Amino acid sequence: MQPLKIVIVGAGIGGLSCAIISRKKGLDVIVLEKAEKLTPVGAGIQIPPNASRIWAQYGLLEKLKEFSVISKANQLRRWKDGSLLCSRSIGETLNPQWPWLVIHRADYQKVLVKECERLHVDIRLKSEVYDVDFENTRVLLKNGDVVSGDVIVGADGLWSTLRTRVLGHASPPQETGDLAYRGTFSLEALQTLRDPKVDELCLRNLVTMWIGPESHAVFYPVRCGREFNLVMTQPDDLPAYIKTKQGNLEEMKTTFKDWDPLLTKLLTAFPSVLKWKMMHHDELPSWTKKNFVLLGDACHPSLPYQAQGAAMAVEDGTIIANLLAAYQDAKASSLTHPSLPETLKLYELLQKERTTTLHLGSISNQRLYHLDDGQEQEERDLILKNASFEDLPDGSSEPFIWIDARYQKAILGRDVVGDAQDSWEQAVRNGSR
């Protein structure tokens, strides 16, 4: 029996993850990428424990560690003076064997591309999809090529062409009301500031967040501490038709001039900065159609306020690969099994509710981070300072998911591979009755 042929549209984190795990599970893979070369967009990115666990299972965690920093904790600090509100270490909510990594997106993609090359994944650049053929499971490219497969995976991101085709109508992402200034700078640039507090911050190996009225900032090391990533959010002032724009450094400094002096000192080290409009999408009615399936931002883009966007794409790719491998094995053994469309629906059933929970959680964190000063903010700060990170009695929840141990364990502690296997076995049992 010939291996299943999986055609993945998009060579981002999710598409490459799906390709790697599919190859490791014995499937044939083609990746179609419209860009002429793989040039990562963005700066720092986080790999939380639910994703690092997957990479440990598939042999890439140690390689990723070579380019990253293990975050000791995530901290929330007050915008005005940097006073500590709350510190959450991974060990308090999860087994520390699954680390929280912070890495440059370019390094993350580089590791994944090299693994694809080692596994002989067929990555085709300058291959832009403009239409699909659901009946024959194939995609039509702008260059005139037609690529067929047993399954087509739409991993083409926020502005997905495949999403439009699967839904049967245009469904663009919506504005969130926030934009982000993003940039990185070198350790040497920060050392030239000659500020002991900046030097101390650079040695902490933490994800540090300042939260304040309508805005927040995130700072963490990448590239083994040789570079640092800083993201500043504020209310969106970009026109609707502009997604990214070169930022004005003086404008950014003016926006945050009254914030913690440590943070404003960091801003002086920025050589340049980009402004990014932050987008998300409401829950889609479906992620699949026949033998076509969506993953990552193509089907569940959300605010990055839980550092789970890329991790969810990795989860998606892992589940799709494992379910398709189970389908292939069952078919080769002539065992009773779900059809290919039913197999893809199992993935949707596993992930859809989870990603909606995360989408709503990110909106909740947006409010948590951006409260104006006043009574509600003072109550929030008191709750954060007294957080225990323990399961509450009688199944109750904390007022904020950031400190809710049960919520964090469900998100960060998931065994994705085990869930995929259990889902398949349950479907087989149900089908054999």
The H or E element that residue 407 is part of is helix 405-412
Structure tokens at 148: 């067929």
Residue 378 has pLDDT above 80, yes or no: yes
pLDDT at 131: 95
Specify whether the CB–CB gap between 220 and 207 falls below 8 A. Answer: yes
249-259 confidence digits (pLDDT tens): 999 999 999 99
pLDDT band at 39 (very low <50, low <70, confident <90, very high): confident
Q: Look at the alpha carbons of 92, 94, 97, 103 in this order and tell me if their dihedral is positive or negative.
A: negative
Taking residues 141-148, what's their average pLDDT? 97
Enter the DSSP assignment of 336: -
Specify whether the CB–CB gap between 325 and 361 falls below 8 A. Answer: no
pTM, full prediction: 0.96
Beta bridge mates, 103: 45
Taking residues 97-115, what's their average pLDDT? 95
pLDDT > 70 in the chain, percent: 98
Taking residues 388-392, what's their average pLDDT? 83
Chain centroid offset of residue 267 CA: 25
pLDDT at 210: 99
pLDDT at 392: 79
Taking residues 262-275, what's their average pLDDT? 93
Contacts of 144 (CB under 8 A, 6+ apart): none
Taking residues 277-289, what's their average pLDDT? 94
Taking residues 292-309, what's their average pLDDT? 96
Beta bridge mates, 216: 211, 233
Taking residues 129-157, what's their average pLDDT? 97
pLDDT band at 431 (very low <50, low <70, confident <90, very high): confident
Residue 432 has pLDDT above 70, yes or no: no
- How many CB atoms within 10 Å of residue 11? 26
Taking residues 9-15, what's their average pLDDT? 98
Q: How far, in Å, CA of 97 to CA of 113, rounded?
A: 25
CA angle, residues 159, 61, 415, in degrees to nearest 5 = 75
- How many CB atoms within 10 Å of residue 2? 7
Beta bridge mates, 129: 141
Q: How far, in Å, CA of 6 to CA of 155, rounded?
A: 12
- The residue ranges of every structural domain in the chain are 5-72+103-172+282-370+391-431
Q: Where are the beta strands (DSSP E) in 171-238?
A: 174-186, 207-212, 215-222, 227-235
Domain 5-72+103-172+282-370+391-431 annotated CATH 3.50.50.60: yes
CA distances in angstroms from 337 to 111, 332, 429, listed in the order given: 35, 11, 9
120-129 confidence digits (pLDDT tens): 999 999 999 9
CA nearest neighbour of 424 among 332, 353, 344: 344
337: exposed, middle or buried (Cβ count in 10 Å: 0-12, 13-18, 19+)? buried
pLDDT band at 433 (very low <50, low <70, confident <90, very high): very low
Specify whether the CB–CB gap between 379 and 400 falls below 8 A. Answer: no
Specify whether the CB–CB gap between 208 and 312 falls below 8 A. Answer: no
pLDDT band at 89 (very low <50, low <70, confident <90, very high): confident
Specify whether the CB–CB gap between 347 and 338 falls below 8 A. Answer: no
Please indicate whether residue 42 or residue 335 has the higher confidence score (pLDDT).
335
CA nearest neighbour of 181 among 236, 102, 222: 236
Beta bridge mates, 292: 152, 289
CA nearest neighbour of 179 among 95, 273, 92: 273
Residue 94 has pLDDT above 70, yes or no: no
Average the pLDDT over each of 28-42, 282-296, 373-387 and give the range with the smallest value: 28-42
Strand order in the sheet with 151-154: 122-124, 28-32, 5-9, 151-154, 292-294, 288-289
Q: How far, in Å, CA of 63 to CA of 65, rounded?
A: 5
291: exposed, middle or buried (Cβ count in 10 Å: 0-12, 13-18, 19+)? buried
- Kindly report the average pLDDT of the chain as a whole number: 94
